[in-house]
Amino acid sequence: MHLSELPTPAAVVDHDVLRRNCDTMATRLATQGIALRPHVKTHKCPEIARLQGGQGIAVSTVAEVQGFAAAGFEDQVLAVPLAPARIPEVLALARRLSLAVLVDDGAVAAALARAAAEAGQRLSVWIKVDCGYHRAGVDPEGAEVLALARQLQDDAHLDLAGLLTHAGHSYDCVDRGGITQVAEQEARVTVRCAERLRAADVAVPQVSIGSTPTLSVTVDRTGVTEGRPGNYVFHDLHQAGIQSCELGDIALSVVATVIGRYRSRGTLVLDAGALALSKDPGPSHLGGAQEGGRICRLDGTPVPGLRLTGLSQEHGKVSVDPACPEPGLAVGDRVRILPNHSCLVSALHPQLHVVRRDRVVDRWQPVRGW
């Protein structure tokens, strides 16, 4: 099938760019002596995870654990703090694959220990550390992390795997200089926490860090054992905006059809709305962000003067700048949209159409559910 024949809206993956992104990150971490554990929540596709390689995978949902286990991925880390209600499911899954979980709360760790004891199991557990993002994780300098580490180490049914962090605040940077500062902080804070615990006679086998922006730069990561980038397989306009990638590195796009042209109002309407593009504004802190993404022709060339200015459920409203050349788009024509946030876009589509140049060569179905 030709790209122009796809029913729209359609999520499209450029296979060659995807493969290049995978190879670039794998080489970068190998050069630094850091093991790669890709975070698959960006794409949720076993086919892409196989291209990424690495020592195992990180996932965000129990459904992802199940889906990737069925596809043969037996080394997984559920890299979101564990909800107590999911403990029975996690223990059942851990009986048939190497599954580690994440905690940042002593009460959850205690509930996990009780359930593991009742089941006669041992479970590997990571501690989530806050390296500056302030979304989740224990304070690396506080008393709680030491208490939690000792709790895990002393329990007969839990094994402390190490410390895990995510530098999500790197997405607030404006350039590679800022990303480098966050990357240095991420490594420094987490490694120092591990050293502090070891000085208190707590064994910390591994230190795991993760974020595509911070792992796009090279800093001193002595003491870090593992990296968990995710978005890098696709990249997106946010990554390009903060300079952790180039526009040519964006592997995911959405093909849409013009379903309305209103010259008197200077607008177009596309058949791709919030349910195809999400409402993530992208790097709005940089100014000039477009709601939904950047409009290109089918060959990927940006169309000057077109801005996605409004998204409803199934409609994308486009403003046409009269000062720019006439875009020459009529009802029925197709465009390609580079997304602000590829992780959300991938999750919104029932399948990803894999293309090489202008031909559809495969279709991949992301894992669904929580």
List pLDDT tens digits, range 297-351. Answer: 999 999 999 999 999 999 999 999 999 999 999 999 999 999 999 999 999 999 9
List pLDDT tens digits, range 126-169. Answer: 999 999 999 999 999 999 999 999 999 999 999 999 999 999 99
| pLDDT (0 to 100) of residue 111 | 98
Strand partners, 126: 102, 162
Average of per-residue pLDDT across 226-236: 98
Q: Please choose, from the candidates 100, 206, 102, 202, the residue with its C-alpha nearest in 3D space to the C-alpha of residue 154.
A: 202
CA distance 207 to 221: 10
List pLDDT tens digits, range 284-300. Answer: 889 866 688 999 999 99
List pLDDT tens digits, range 236-273. Answer: 999 999 999 999 999 999 999 999 999 999 999 999 99
CB 268 within 8 A of CB 260: yes
| pLDDT (0 to 100) of residue 287 | 83
- Sorted by where each begins, the domain ranges of the chain are 3-9+246-364, 32-232
Identify the CATH homologous superfamily for domain 32-232: Alanine racemase (3.20.20.10)
> Which letter does DSSP use for residue 131 in this model?
S
List pLDDT tens digits, range 210-220. Answer: 999 999 999 99
Average of per-residue pLDDT across 32-41: 97
Average of per-residue pLDDT across 174-193: 98
| pLDDT (0 to 100) of residue 257 | 98
Q: What is the mean pLDDT of the chain?
A: 96
φ, ψ dihedrals at 317, nearest 5°: -90, 130
Q: Residue 277: is its pLDDT beyond 80?
A: yes
Collapse the DSSP code of 53 into the 3-class scheme (helix H, G, I; strand E, B; otherwise coil) and give the result: coil
Q: Please choose, from the candidates 166, 138, 127, 125, the residue with its C-alpha nearest in 3D space to the C-alpha of residue 41.
A: 166
Higher-confidence position of 350 and 282: 350
Q: 140-148, long-range: CB within 8 Å, 24+ apart, which pairs?
A: 140/189, 140/190, 140/192, 140/193, 140/196, 141/193, 144/106, 145/193, 145/197, 146/196, 146/197, 146/200, 146/202, 147/106, 148/103, 148/104, 148/105, 148/106, 148/109
Average of per-residue pLDDT across 345-366: 96
Is it true that the peptide bond before 9 is cis, omega within 30 degrees of 0? Answer: yes
Average of per-residue pLDDT across 55-64: 97
Q: Which two tokens stand for residue 203?
A: 């064994």
| pLDDT (0 to 100) of residue 289 | 63
CA distance 77 to 268: 45
Polymer length of the chain: 370
Average of per-residue pLDDT across 80-94: 97
CB 55 within 8 A of CB 77: no
- What global pTM score does this model have? 0.95
Average of per-residue pLDDT across 65-81: 98
CA distance 367 to 370: 9
Average of per-residue pLDDT across 271-289: 90
Q: Which fold has domain 3-9+246-364?
A: Lyase, Ornithine Decarboxylase; Chain A, domain 1 (2.40.37)
Distances 248 to 75, 223, 301, 345 between C-alpha atoms, Å: 32, 33, 10, 18
| pLDDT (0 to 100) of residue 15 | 98
